[in-house]
């Protein structure tokens, strides 16, 4: 993930100074443990200023509105108490090469600042600190005590001190090419490493893009550079410093991140606030998606492993119970042929009543035929009772396995993060597992990205819509709230999978190609997607029911018909689309 460097921060601050100063503070909201949003209103517009001290994604930009969930964080509560009703009257970097921004708040524009909000964008040491006009710390996002840092403590009540100053040489426009080249080439090495070692304030991202713009590679040695290479690099070096001086930037995306200098840009110039907000929102969502999916998969794997073991044990007991009739049969044979049993016999062979095949029966030599028969009857009754007790337990475990396999299949369908919808779908699965007591309730409420995630939507050959549930919450919503009287409902037979609706208007009649298309989608979004053919049932939604007490997504159906879905056709279709 690319970090906000001095160059990017300069571009952000210049844009904010131009378009958002002065602005009234209307609201403060903390989105998560690393991010606050401040509602700003100018004479012409209103939006939210995002301030983040995330270890990998610390930033300052105009961002998205916060979610409509309660804010229970202490830090934002303190900021609201101090800043509400004040105006943001100034915003400036404390030094040209320091990534610390001073946001100043006063009663009204033109007044002396009453509050200073220092935003320190310094990787894992990033922080946000509110001080009064005397620079005394009132509240801080992350307190740092002497045990955590011997260099600088940050705690409420103490005077604010700037981070330790950077040491080394800073870039200057006044430095001529000869002196600059001499400094960079003093110690032989890769050009990128030597640029970064020679100057403070130059970020790896800017160095790499500068080198690539010059037609070089970051690993190229300074010893092998030609005069024209040095000339081109120095021109770009001057261009960079001039951009910082004149605040002339060209923000946009590059192949592996973004730029504010226009070098290697893909597509058109983008507003700096939009660029920074979209890039880091996506990066953070991707990381949350990866972590949450891994967490849920591990939990499901653990639960299913235990349930598979429990089911196997119950099946073994059921298998043993199936031997109950054999014990009753042996008891009956002994009772019918008791006269053949002699005292001290350890076994006897008798013919089966129906097949007349010989059956060897083990006996207790200390008991007579009647007593041995009674022992077999007792074993018969015991195993019969065990079967009656184990069978419902096995059914219960199997239902739980079916449910968790359905959830596991939902997770497998979410292979990678593509949009906020994917993360929202994953969050809904997490909430479902919390509600079903498979996960503990979080102490801190997690805000949702949107009110409800949406199902996948595709078209059949005739243009009918196919809607596909992405999790059990969507499955239930599709089947019991969305489905109309003319729709058709599809699901894989005896296999976990998504609920699929073929949406039909009154009087519309789907042809065979439409039905098979919907069946193919149902097969693809199922646990059996690796099979060549998958049996898929379809029926009218009114014939689909949720049993009392059933878990989310679990249904029964009747009056179904069967088609063979071919998931490989969907794989080919998606490959061609992608």
The model's pTM: 0.79
Do β-strands 500-503 and 35-41 pair in parallel, antiparallel, or remain unpaired?
unpaired
The domain of 12 spans 6-140
pLDDT value, residue 109: 92
Tell me the range of 13-27, 148-162, 315-329, 331-345 where mean pLDDT is highest: 13-27
Residues 330 and 403 in one domain: yes
Evaluate if residue 176 carries a pLDDT over 80.
yes
User: What does the pLDDT average to over 410-427?
Assistant: 90
Residues 95 and 204 in one domain: no
Evaluate if residue 111 carries a pLDDT over 70.
yes
Residues 21 and 136 in one domain: yes
CA-CA distance, 94 to 101, in Å (whole number)? 6
What is the token pair recorded at 195? 């640029």
pLDDT band for 443, please (50, 70, 90 cuts): low
In-domain check, residue 497: yes
Residues 59 and 196 in one domain: no
Residues 252 and 287 in one domain: no
- Chain centre to alpha carbon of residue 463: 32
User: What does the pLDDT average to over 425-429?
Assistant: 93
pLDDT band for 80, please (50, 70, 90 cuts): very high
CA-CA distance, 94 to 507, in Å (whole number)? 70
* Domain termination residue (choose one: 411, 440, 469): 440
In-domain check, residue 145: no
Residues 260 and 291 in one domain: no
pLDDT value, residue 356: 85
Evaluate if residue 45 carries a pLDDT over 90.
yes
- Chain centre to alpha carbon of residue 372: 65
In-domain check, residue 21: yes
pLDDT band for 322, please (50, 70, 90 cuts): low
pLDDT value, residue 315: 87
Dihedral (CA of 466, 471, 474, 476) sign: positive
pLDDT value, residue 447: 47
Residues 521 and 543 in one domain: yes
User: What does the pLDDT average to over 166-176?
Assistant: 89
- Tally Cβ neighbours within 10 Å of residue 374: 15
Q: Give tens-digit pLDDT for 12-28.
A: 999 999 999 999 999 99
In-domain check, residue 168: no
Q: Give tens-digit pLDDT for 354-400.
A: 888 999 999 999 999 899 989 988 888 887 777 778 888 999 999 99
CA-CA distance, 536 to 519, in Å (whole number)? 6
Q: Give tens-digit pLDDT for 195-215.
A: 999 999 899 999 999 999 999
Whether the Cβ atoms of residue 223 and residue 216 lie closer than 8 Å to each other: no
Strand partners, 52: 35, 59
* Domain termination residue (choose one: 140, 161, 193): 140
* Domain termination residue (choose one: 440, 472, 507): 440
In-domain check, residue 475: yes
Residues 231 and 288 in one domain: no
Q: What's the whole-number average pLDDT of the chain? A: 92
Q: Give tens-digit pLDDT for 490-505.
A: 999 988 999 999 999 9
Residues 470 and 538 in one domain: yes
Q: Please state which of the ranges 75-79, 215-219, 440-444, 484-488 shows the lowest mean pLDDT.
A: 440-444
In-domain check, residue 88: yes
Residues 136 and 72 in one domain: yes
User: What does the pLDDT average to over 137-146?
Assistant: 92
CATH number, domain of 207, equals 1.10.8
pLDDT band for 449, please (50, 70, 90 cuts): very low
- Chain centre to alpha carbon of residue 112: 45
Whether the Cβ atoms of residue 49 and residue 38 lie closer than 8 Å to each other: yes
The residue written with tokens 């609920």 in the block is 499
pLDDT band for 448, please (50, 70, 90 cuts): very low
In-domain check, residue 163: no
Residues 295 and 247 in one domain: no
In-domain check, residue 448: no
Evaluate if residue 165 carries a pLDDT over 90.
no
φ and ψ of 103, to 5 deg: -95, 120
Q: Please state which of the ranges 34-48, 260-274, 411-425 shows the lowest mean pLDDT.
A: 411-425
Residues 416 and 478 in one domain: no
Nearby residues of 259 by Cβ (< 8 Å), 6 or more positions away: 205, 209, 250, 251, 252, 253, 265
pLDDT band for 444, please (50, 70, 90 cuts): low
Could you give the number of structural domains in the chain?
A: 4
User: What does the pLDDT average to over 138-152?
Assistant: 90
């Amino acid at each position: 993930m690319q970090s906000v460097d001095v160059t990017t921060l300069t571009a952000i601050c210049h844009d904010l100074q131009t378009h958002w100063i002065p602005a009234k503070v209307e609201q403060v909201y903390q989105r998560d443990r690393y991010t606050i949003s401040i509602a700003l209103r100018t004479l012409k517009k209103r939006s939210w200023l995002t301030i983040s001290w995330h270890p990998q994604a610390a930033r300052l930009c105009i961002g998205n509105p916060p979610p409509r969930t309660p804010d229970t964080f202490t830090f934002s509560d303190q900021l609201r108490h101090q800043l509400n009703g004040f105006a943001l009257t100034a915003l400036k970097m404390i030094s040209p090469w320091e990534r610390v921004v001073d946001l100043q708040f006063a009663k009204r524009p033109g007044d002396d600042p009453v509050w200073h909000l220092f935003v320190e964008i310094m990787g894992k040491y990033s922080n946000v600190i509110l001080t009064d006009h005397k620079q005394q710390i009132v509240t801080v996002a992350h307190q740092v005590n002497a045990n955590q840092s011997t260099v600088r403590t940050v705690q409420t009540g103490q005077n604010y001190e700037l981070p330790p100053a950077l040491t080394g040489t800073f870039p200057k426009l006044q430095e001529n090419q000869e002196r600059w080249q001499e400094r960079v080439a003093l110690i032989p090495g890769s050009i990128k490493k030597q640029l970064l070692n020679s100057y403070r304030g130059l970020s790896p991202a800017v160095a790499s893009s500068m080198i690539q713009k010059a037609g070089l590679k970051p690993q190229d040695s300074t010893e092998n550079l030609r005069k024209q290479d040095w000339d081109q690099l120095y021109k770009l070096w001057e261009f960079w410093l001039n951009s910082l001086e004149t605040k002339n930037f060209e923000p946009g995306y590059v192949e592996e991140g973004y730029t504010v200098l226009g070098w290697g840009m893909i597509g058109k110039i983008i507003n700096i606030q939009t660029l920074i907000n979209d890039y880091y929102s996506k990066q953070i969502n991707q990381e949350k998606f990866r972590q949450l999916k891994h967490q849920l998969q591990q939990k499901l794997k653990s639960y299913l492993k235990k349930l598979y073991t429990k089911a196997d044990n119950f099946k073994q007991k059921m298998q043993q119970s199936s031997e109950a009739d054999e014990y009753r049969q042996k008891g009956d044979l002994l009772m019918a042929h008791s006269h053949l049993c002699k005292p001290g016999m350890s076994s006897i062979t008798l013919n089966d009543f129906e097949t007349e095949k010989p059956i060897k029966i083990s006996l207790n030599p200390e008991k007579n035929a009647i007593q041995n028969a009674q022992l077999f009857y007792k074993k018969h009754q015991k195993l019969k009772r065990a079967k009656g007790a184990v069978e419902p337990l096995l059914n219960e475990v199997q239902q739980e396995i079916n449910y968790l396999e359905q959830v596991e299949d939902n997770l497998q369908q979410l292979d990678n993060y593509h949009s906020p919808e994917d993360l929202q779908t994953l969050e809904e699965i997490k909430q479902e597992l919390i509600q079903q007591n498979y996960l503990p309730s979080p102490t801190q409420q997690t805000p949702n990205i949107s009110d409800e995630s949406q199902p996948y939507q595709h078209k059949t050959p005739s243009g009918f819509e196919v809607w596909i549930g992405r999790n059990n919450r969507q499955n239930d919503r599709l089947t019991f709230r969305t489905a109309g009287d003319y729709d058709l409902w599809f699901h894989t037979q005896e296999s976990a999978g998504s609920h699929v609706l073929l949406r039909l208007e009154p009087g519309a009649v789907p042809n065979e190609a439409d039905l098979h298309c919907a069946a193919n989608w149902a097969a693809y979004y199922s646990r059996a997607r690796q099979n060549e053919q998958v049996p898929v049932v379809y029926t009218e939604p009114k014939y689909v029911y949720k049993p009392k007490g059933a878990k989310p997504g679990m249904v029964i159906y009747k009056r179904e018909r069967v088609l063979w879905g071919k998931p490989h056709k969907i794989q080919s279709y998606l490959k061609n689309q992608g």
